[in-house]
A and B are shown apart, each in its own frame.
Chain A
Amino acid sequence: MAYLFWIKIAFLFLVRSKRATLALGLMIFSAVGTLVFISAIAVGINDSMILNSTGLYSGHITGLQLDKTITKQRLFVKGVSNVLQRFQIPGTLYHQERKEIQTLMAVNPDQELKNTFLWKKVIKGNYITDKKQEILISHHTAKQLDVHPGEKVIFKSGSSVFPFIVAGIFETGIDRLDNGIAFCPISILSVPPENWDCAIFINPGADLETIMVSYASTGVDTSLLKTWKELMPDLTQLIDLNRISMGFIMILVLGVVCFGTACAFAIFIISNIREYGILKAMGVTPSETTLLIFSEVILLNIIAAIAGTIAGIIVVFITSKTGIDISNFTSHNQYFVVSGLIIPRSTPASLFLPSLLTLSFCLLAAIWPALIVIRQRSCDILRSI
């Protein structure tokens, strides 16, 4: 069978059936373009939730109670962008007659400012400064101790006593951060604790599991390291849910569009049934007729889907420059504590899935009209027109 010949005939058929091809192509073009953009928004929403949740404080991987043998340098493997060192000091925070049990986290303020967004959640005063006896406390703690920025507090841990000035008060809306944690600079600790915590940040697109495998291969006890997926199963589920919803939307949108396209295809093919009747009378076999019809469908889909994908990419590119601000709808949502800005991002799946689904649906849609053409005798076709 001369495939190229039939593809050429299919191409000529489409090109010279101008208006019908344009109408069908527009349907596919708009469906694919819309889905590429919607998919990119869904990916952007997931990115934003992960960024908000990991970027606020915990990082993509959280290390707890690491011993001295695990140095900060050992944690810099391929794909890791930064490792923030932290020390936990349990104790009690005092202000005048009031006291509150706290875990004081000694952090490097400069690194924290660069890599985390907790400073954005400071509602009174300022974030802590390196080498200063300053403490950042939560709104809940400040309320319990009746303390304000600029006032003195004392932190006691065993026999150690640390006098601090309250630099600022933060409120994240996340219980585990807002209750019982305060922050101070590492530099004020003369002897840091033996064990340390860390927040590991990874590069965009880097794979968490690969990084964990790298740690295991270098002898790091990975039971001390928890990925955000382990620490925040609710977020993991939410992202999975978002993906499933997106899948449903794709299938529903494409289902509706492809039902329309299927009907249009059927009309398109049946309205041109005379041509197929002539072809049959000339000795074109059923398999060649099928090849011709499916070549038309595939060609139309490929052209319209490429155009739709390009249009979708352009819209994604334009909107990613400024982002889409949905802060008004996320102000009480813990997964958007820092920012409600969605940056649409295309992934291979979001780019190719709409086109592949459209092509699959349209091929299915072409079966019925193809059967009509194949089953009818050419004399019946030619007699009926």
Chain B
Amino acid sequence: MIEAINISKHFGSGSKKVQVLSDISFRLEKGKTLTIIGKSGSGKSTLLNCLGGLDLPDKGQINCFGIDINCLCEKKRSLFQREKLGFIFQSNNLLSYLTVFENIVFPLVLNGFGKKERKKRVAQLLEMLKLDHLACAMPNELSGGQAQRVAFARAIAHTPQMLLADEPTASLDTQTGLDLIKLMVSVGIEHNITIIVSTHDNEVIKYADRILYLKDGKIIGK
């Protein structure tokens, strides 16, 4: 289960202080999909960053599968992220100097998967995502949709317990974006992965178990 209790976060100080999140609290059962809806600047990305331990809230508590991630030291937080989390960013954020295969295999190496297991998993993912012909391609040789599918493959390669997707469809056309969301949800159901997606695309709502509406850093609806 993922539990956020009174999460607050601000950027800047003095007159330039901006309250990005204010007393955000929610619970999400394992294997469920949560969609965070809000306009640009509503605090979606910051909330996702805090949930994934990429950023620390000013106050409040985040429990991910029984672990208070704010209390972890940097090394333990990194190990928690590599083992239990998968991230997808708005701009695919593939490692530009690694091929598609190397990008997907990276989290598997980090998590200590054996060589045979790694090859098998990457091959399965590439086949599932219809990317097997692009295994040796560099990220700059991919289209936006292909790159985002590779980013998705990398995020789920090690079968994380939670997948955080920050506006994954923002840089894609409507159909490609919806296909990616469908794929994400079906994989989540298959492997019992908790998925949290931030978006401003109302189409994505259809695939969510729960929805959070954010405005100016506050929850305005659930």
Residues of B close to A283: CB separation below 8 A: 78-83, 85, 107, 110
Given contacts A16-B97, A377-B55, contact A285 B75 (CB under 8 A): yes
Question: How far, in whole Å, are A330 and B98 apart by their CA atoms in the complex?
Answer: 58
Q: Mark A23-50, 1 if CB is under 8 A from B, else 0.
A: 0000000000000000000000000000
Is A275 touching B97 in the complex (CB atoms < 8 A)? yes
Given contacts A17-B97, A280-B78, A286-B74, contact A2 B109 (CB under 8 A): yes
Q: Which positions 352-379 of chain A face chain B at CB distance < 8 Å?
A: 377-379
Is residue A12 within 8 Å, beta carbon to beta carbon, of the partner chain?
yes
Question: How far, in whole Å, are A382 and B164 apart by their CA atoms in the complex?
Answer: 15
Binding site for A on B (CB under 8 A): 45, 49, 52, 54-55, 74-75, 78-83, 85, 87, 89, 93-98, 102, 106-107, 109-110, 138, 154
For the complex formed, measure the closest distance between the CB of A271 and the CB atoms of chain B, giving whole angstroms. Answer: 11
Q: Mark A281-302, 1 if CB is under 8 A from B, else 0.
A: 1111111000000000000000
Is B55 touching A282 in the complex (CB atoms < 8 A)? no
Given contacts A379-B54, A382-B89, contact A282 B107 (CB under 8 A): yes
Is B97 touching A281 in the complex (CB atoms < 8 A)? no
For A374, give the chain B residue with the smallest CB separation: B74
Binding site for B on A (CB under 8 A): 2, 5, 9, 12-13, 16-17, 274-275, 278-287, 377-380, 382-383
Question: How far, in whole Å, are A12 and B95 apart by their CA atoms in the complex?
Answer: 11
Residues of B close to A383: CB separation below 8 A: 45
Report the tally of A-B residue pairs with Cβ distances under 8 A. Answer: 67
Is B54 touching A378 in the complex (CB atoms < 8 A)? yes
For the complex formed, measure the closest distance between the CB of A3 and the CB atoms of chain B, giving whole angstroms. Answer: 12
Residues of A close to B98: CB separation below 8 A: 9, 12, 16
Question: How far, in whole Å, are A278 and B45 apart by their CA atoms in the complex?
Answer: 15
Residues of B close to A5: CB separation below 8 A: 109
Is B87 touching A281 in the complex (CB atoms < 8 A)? yes
Q: Which of A17, A279, A281, A377 has the most CB of B within 10 A?
A: A281
**Apart from the given pairs A282-B107, A285-B75, 5 other A-B contacts in the complex at a CB distance below 8 Å:** A12-B97, A16-B97, A274-B93, A284-B82, A377-B54
Residues of B close to A16: CB separation below 8 A: 96-98, 138
Given contacts A282-B106, A285-B75, contact A275 B96 (CB under 8 A): yes
Q: Across the A-B interface, give the 8 residue pairs with the lowest CB-CB distance, nearest first.
A: A283-B82, A283-B81, A16-B97, A379-B54, A379-B55, A285-B78, A379-B49, A283-B78
Selected from A17, A274, A284, A382, the residue in CB contact (under 8 A) with B78 is A284
Question: How far, in whole Å, are A379 and B106 apart by their CA atoms in the complex?
Answer: 20
For the complex formed, measure the closest distance between the CB of B69 and the CB atoms of chain A, giving whole angstroms. Answer: 12
Question: How far, in whole Å, are A383 and B87 apart by their CA atoms in the complex?
Answer: 14
Is A13 touching B79 in the complex (CB atoms < 8 A)? no
Question: How far, in whole Å, are A287 and B138 apart by their CA atoms in the complex?
Answer: 27
Question: How far, in whole Å, are A146 and B166 apart by their CA atoms in the complex?
Answer: 104
Question: How far, in whole Å, are A13 and B96 apart by their CA atoms in the complex?
Answer: 9
Given contacts A2-B109, A12-B102, A279-B95, contact A286 B55 (CB under 8 A): no
Is B87 touching A282 in the complex (CB atoms < 8 A)? yes
Return 27 A-B CB contacts under 8 Å, by A number: A12-B97, A12-B102, A13-B97, A16-B96, A16-B138, A274-B96, A275-B97, A279-B95, A281-B54, A282-B107, A282-B110, A283-B80, A283-B81, A283-B85, A283-B107, A283-B110, A284-B82, A285-B74, A285-B75, A285-B78, A286-B74, A286-B75, A287-B75, A377-B55, A379-B49, A380-B55, A382-B89
Given contacts A283-B83, A377-B54, A379-B54, contact A275 B95 (CB under 8 A): yes
For the complex formed, measure the closest distance between the CB of B159 and the CB atoms of chain A, giving whole angstroms. Answer: 14
Selected from B75, B81, B102, the residue in CB contact (under 8 A) with A281 is B81
Is B97 touching A285 in the complex (CB atoms < 8 A)? no
Residues of A close to B75: CB separation below 8 A: 285-287
Residues of A close to B94: CB separation below 8 A: 278
For A289, give the chain B residue with the smallest CB separation: B78
Residues of B close to A280: CB separation below 8 A: 54, 78
Question: How far, in whole Å, are A284 and B78 apart by their CA atoms in the complex?
Answer: 6
Question: How far, in whole Å, are A377 and B97 apart by their CA atoms in the complex?
Answer: 21
